[in-house]
A and B are shown apart, each in its own frame.
Chain A
């Protein structure tokens, strides 16, 4: 019996994957300096434990996590700390960062070494390794992974889903990771399943990556508890709630989390980092970044040290074209446009997208004509036009009751709106103002 797999709504932006999907991952040459922000994740910022002038080795902890929902930061190159100050951050503000000038020695600290019997470690030891390695969700949201792996006992998990969907246009880093490091992805999944005591694993991959689906399927043949699920190409299929709906047909309750329906979702890149942390105590100091877009001369998938300035990646890829207009941290639907290319790659930077000037120009907002396309395509079944209008006119209580905080900010509504209304911007503003009011009132 064919159950229709998927979620209601969603849009079909042009994919643009052809620019980089066939480019094998290349290692970016060592940067001369790295800028490590103390906040690259959701939660409390890390607190520095080094001082200007200290020498550090690659992988050395330079900032500790003082709270549970927080992660430490590590040196991604070996060298000297030259500054601890506020620096531009890809998420828009200037944040306290540790700047390291490299010494080209690129030495790991002594604690990093491979342990072939890592699956014999206890669950607590595994979680400790993950926590100390500073791993956060690498799909972009950057939620501390060790927290995600510690659901309360009253929320039992029965299935782990790996997110190989990569539904944002242009981005191909997860695709290449699945083609080039499938074993590490599966090893990471098995560690996650051991930690959570889960018997079933599903790897979700969009159908526009048939080679990845084939390869992962071959790798999973011998394993009878892990399966690959090809998914229809639709944005935002890779959004956690929509992926869960498509994979196991469960709806995460409003205001709830995946663990409320017995699921946990991790990005394939995070799975690789988990494997490296548990098997070798390797902290998260590098990731795959897709540098792409019509504004970059030579699109590529690069293996990059955390903290490398965007400009290094841009230079390696031939530089910006003359008509480059916008640099985006992430994908075109949810990424953040950058003021300068002197911002560092952070743990959640899945891509650097350079758009040409023609595509960068803002179109003027027109009034809402009630076409209801946003209603038809909202993956959370909300009424974006009304919620945005409430937020715009300060009717925040009404906006909240209509589902302001259920919005996952995927951008589908703003994408499809013929009046070019900045719906997501109004919604984000509404959320920020409401949270501010709650903080000041309580």
Chain B
């Protein structure tokens, strides 16, 4: 025998797709929203995004080296974590916030568990939760007025997001007896203004975190990802469907079934969450039924936090909580085998 041949187990041909290709597809899908952020909030957002990405990749690379594992920090997953973390921050935050958030997200949310594939929680959301808990003021105060002005014309920075306005106005309108007449009128006006500002919610001309405001640009990326089958329909649609359904029933101020579900779908980062964070493959279930349950659970928790909880927006925490249930969901939603009983 003068020739040697490769030996390996079957199959001997493999699909061209790879982890790297999947990750970079998600990065590309997030670019439109980033471009929109620059347009609405100014070029400072680029610094925030850059710091978040660089810190995430550097943290992963250094920890992989220290843990004596192959350095794969450029496979795209750390970059996604950096981008998503940045998109969850207000535009005027000091730059040490994204740095610290990325570091904690990667180190505690991912590397501690063994790196890609082993983390139980979405690393970007771990970073964000850490920042929210440790520096709540920084995370809410440093909002920017978007280009073109906010819908209410308020140029003061604090609490200018639509969800904040909604929450305060709703508080007043469902307990009208406890408030003065002028407050009630103001609240009614604010609600009306919110209901007539759908185009702003859609394009992104509202206050909020840098990556969550433009539904249009996020949807562009999401549709691209669904088209190339990187994300599926089950989680986003069950998430958004549940949010719409529950806010329609419970979100109104004039009794049941009067809620403005469109408002709730278009604000508070639920589009960003449903399409880009709840769909994170590592932390969401792998079965058909499991994915529907997961999406529904995220929707329920988001609505509960939004309507009755302490925060105006509940996307991050609902996804993190559902991440914790993923292994359980996987275990109890195994499909019936071919030929099974």
Give residues in A with beta carbon < 8 Å to B: 7, 11, 13-14, 169, 241, 245, 251-256, 320, 324-328, 332-342, 353, 355, 357, 359-363, 366-372, 375, 379-383, 385-386, 402-403, 406, 409, 411, 414-420, 422, 424-425, 428
Contacts and interface: CB of A to CB of B under 8 A. Distances in A.
A355 B115 CA distance: 34
Contacts of A382: 335, 337-338
A339 B13 contact: no
B337 A380 contact: yes
12 contacts: A14-B13, A241-B339, A325-B6, A333-B12, A339-B7, A353-B12, A375-B286, A381-B337, A383-B286, A403-B340, A415-B14, A418-B15
Interface string B96-125: 000000000000000000111110000000
B316 interface: no
Interface in B15-68: 15, 17-19, 21-22
B22 A418 contact: yes
Contact of B334 (A402, A409, A415): A402
A62 B340 CA distance: 43
Contacts of B284: 370
- Interface footprint category on B: 35 or more
Nearest to B17: A418
B337 A406 contact: yes
A351 to B, nearest CB: 12
Nearest to A401: B334
Given A339-B5, A361-B6, A369-B281, A406 B12 contact: no
Given A254-B340, A402-B334, A372 B287 contact: yes
Interface of A is mostly: loop
A381 B335 contact: yes
Question: Which 7 pairs, one residue from A and one from B, show the smallest C-beta to C-beta distance?
Answer: A367-B117, A411-B11, A372-B286, A360-B6, A425-B9, A254-B339, A380-B338
A278 to B, nearest CB: 32
Contacts of B14: 363, 414-415, 417, 420
B3 A411 contact: no
Contact of B11 (A334, A340, A369, A372): A334
Given A13-B13, A381-B336, A415-B15, 6 more contacts: A253-B341, A357-B6, A375-B287, A383-B334, A403-B337, A424-B11
Nearest to A16: B13
Contacts of A324: 5
A339 B281 CA distance: 38
B10 interface: yes
A254 B336 CA distance: 10
A333 B14 CA distance: 9
A251 B338 contact: yes
A316 B244 CA distance: 68
A411 B10 CA distance: 7
A207 B121 CA distance: 45
Contacts of A7: 338
B339 A256 contact: yes
B144 interface: no
B180 interface: no
A11 B15 contact: yes
Nearest to A375: B286
Interface in B64-113: 72
A96 to B, nearest CB: 21
Nearest to A245: B338
A305 B173 CA distance: 89
Nearest to B20: A418
Given A320-B3, A342-B1, A369-B19, A428 B9 contact: yes
B283 interface: yes
Given A332-B12, A355-B12, A369 B339 contact: no
Contacts of A252: 338-339
B129 interface: no
A326 B13 contact: no
B260 to A, nearest CB: 35
Chain A CB count within 10 A is highest, among B7, B21, B118, for B7
A434 B335 CA distance: 23
B192 interface: no
A169 B13 contact: yes
Contacts of B286: 370, 372, 375, 383, 385-386
A369 B75 CA distance: 12
B165 interface: no
